[in-house]
Amino acid sequence: MIKKWLNLAVTRFKKLKPLFVFLVVLPTTISVIYFGIIASKVYVSESTFVVRSANNQATISTMGSLLSSVGVNKSIDDAYSVQSYITSRAALHTLEGTVDVRDYYSKQGDWFSRFNTLRLNNSQEAFYQYFREKVSIRVDPVSGIATLRVKAYKPEEGQEINSRLISIAENRVNELNTRALNDAITFAKNNVERAQEYSLQTAKALMDFRIANKIFDVNAQTQALLQLIESLQADIVKNQAQISQLKASSPDSLQIKTLESRNRSLEHEIEVQMQKIVGDDSSLVGQSVVYQRLSLENSMAVEQLTSAISSLQAAQDEAMRKQLYLEVISPASNPDEAELPNRFYNILATFIIGLLLYGLTSLIIASVREHKN
């Protein structure tokens, strides 16, 4: 019975047109053999994350609202930046430092799916192009949620590669944060350092002037001298009153000469003290000009330092508001069922494409023959 069926099948196969066999039967048979028997199972590990910052505002969905409720809104533009980095050569280079992905993809899977099966091109660029087909990332333009998918021939391998890529992306975001923070505050820090140096210079100049001239407060010292002069003048007035009384009662009293001598001493002392206040350049009035200038410079330096410190704090606050955060929504999955290949779909697609090619080729051949006739 089986022999009869085989003979019938061979007979019918011989009746098929060679073109039909070449374009339909042969490709479909190869597709059945490969996808039905040879093709390895492909497991897809999937993870989702969102890149958010405190300063960026965007249209958000329910998940975006949930994320922003903790005080930080996601940034779609930054998510696209992370997307570009994950699929970059730099990310692959970093990944190879932690996981031997090249060795894995060179040994796992069927013969047709492995990297560099024929050992013809083992370059970094060739592996990068191969790896790009195994990793895909998509960013939802509405919610800003990024979905990372990694294809592997073992579920645990795909999960590990996916997790490492997320970790690499997070480290990259942190590096960008550090660089942005440093760039933002470098100028402000330089201003603070210059203001500190200038403040120290003016403070030292003021201190040196005080020590050299024994002046610590011009106003206070002037006020003290004026009070002393006022006291001396009061003594002169008091003595003069006594002299007048003595001249009226005892013109020949020796006390009159004593009081007059004392008044002359007091007047001389008043003149000496006045010279300290309004004399030459070494007087308090002469030195007050320099003192006030140094004091004003020191006050301005302190104000500049205070302003520079405030600017530095503002720059730090602004940089912190712009810091990015990679928030993992769902970690890398460990799939228990192969997602690829879609065997029936691939076989059916091969058959349909073969039929279309056969029909198109037949029409072209018939048209050519008709044209010749």
Q: What is the mean pLDDT of residues 288-300?
A: 83
Q: What is the mean pLDDT of residues 300-329?
A: 87
pLDDT of residue 103: 92
Peptide bond before residue 331 is cis, with ω within 30 degrees of 0: no
Dump pLDDT digits (tens) for 106-119: 998 888 889 988 88
Dump pLDDT digits (tens) for 161-219: 999 999 999 999 999 888 888 887 888 889 999 999 999 999 988 888 777 776 666 66
Q: What is the mean pLDDT of residues 89-110?
A: 93
| Closest alpha carbon to 30 in 347, 252, 298 | 347
pLDDT of residue 278: 61
Q: What is the mean pLDDT of residues 220-234?
A: 78
Taking CB atoms within 8 Å and a gap of at least 24, the contacts of 132-135 are 132/87, 134/105, 135/86, 135/87, 135/161, 135/165
pLDDT of residue 166: 96
CA distances, 116 to each of 98, 241, 255 (Å): 21, 122, 127
Tell me how far apart the alpha carbons of residues 74 and 68 are, in angstroms, rounded to a whole number.
7
CA distances, 314 to each of 101, 163, 178, 190, 322 (Å): 45, 37, 17, 14, 12
Q: What is the mean pLDDT of residues 257-276?
A: 78
Q: What is the mean pLDDT of residues 64-90?
A: 69
Instruction: Give the pair of three-digit tokens for residue 259.
Output: 């009081």
Residue 280: its H or E element: none
Output the average pLDDT for the chain: 82
DSSP 61-94: -HHHHHHHTTT-EE-HHHHHHHHHHHTSHHHHHH
* pLDDT higher than 50, residue 237: yes
Instruction: Give the pair of three-digit tokens for residue 160.
Output: 């590990």
pLDDT band at 2 (very low <50, low <70, confident <90, very high): low
Beta-strand runs (E) in the chain: 43-53, 73-74, 135-139, 145-152, 324-330
pLDDT of residue 243: 81
Dump pLDDT digits (tens) for 332-349: 999 989 888 888 888 899
Q: Using N-to-C axis directions, what is the helix angle for 155-213 and 284-321, rounded to 10°?
A: 170
355-371: b (≥16 Cβ within 10 Å) or e? eeebeeeeeeeeeeeee
pLDDT of residue 77: 77
pLDDT of residue 302: 92
pLDDT of residue 74: 45
Q: What is the mean pLDDT of residues 138-147?
A: 90
Tell me how far apart the alpha carbons of residues 253 and 243 are, in angstroms, rounded to a whole number.
10
Tell me how far apart the alpha carbons of residues 138 and 120 are, in angstroms, rounded to a whole number.
32
pLDDT of residue 185: 85
DSSP 156-203: HHHHHHHHHHHHHHHHHHHHHHHHHHHHHHHHHHHHHHHHHHHHHHHH
Tell me how far apart the alpha carbons of residues 144 and 59 are, in angstroms, rounded to a whole number.
9
Q: What is the mean pLDDT of residues 139-162?
A: 93
pLDDT band at 71 (very low <50, low <70, confident <90, very high): very low
Dump pLDDT digits (tens) for 12-69: 544 557 888 888 889 998 888 888 888 889 999 999 999 887 665 443 444 444 444 4
pLDDT of residue 67: 44
pTM recorded for the entire structure? 0.63
Q: What is the mean pLDDT of residues 56-84?
A: 57
DSSP 109-135: S-TTTSTTTTSS---HHHHHHHHHTTE
Instruction: Give the pair of three-digit tokens for residue 103.
Output: 């060795």
Helices and strands, number each (H, E), in the chain: 13, 5
The percent of residues in the chain predicted with pLDDT above 70, rounded, is 83
Amino acid at 169: A
Tell me how far apart the alpha carbons of residues 332 and 156 are, in angstroms, rounded to a whole number.
10
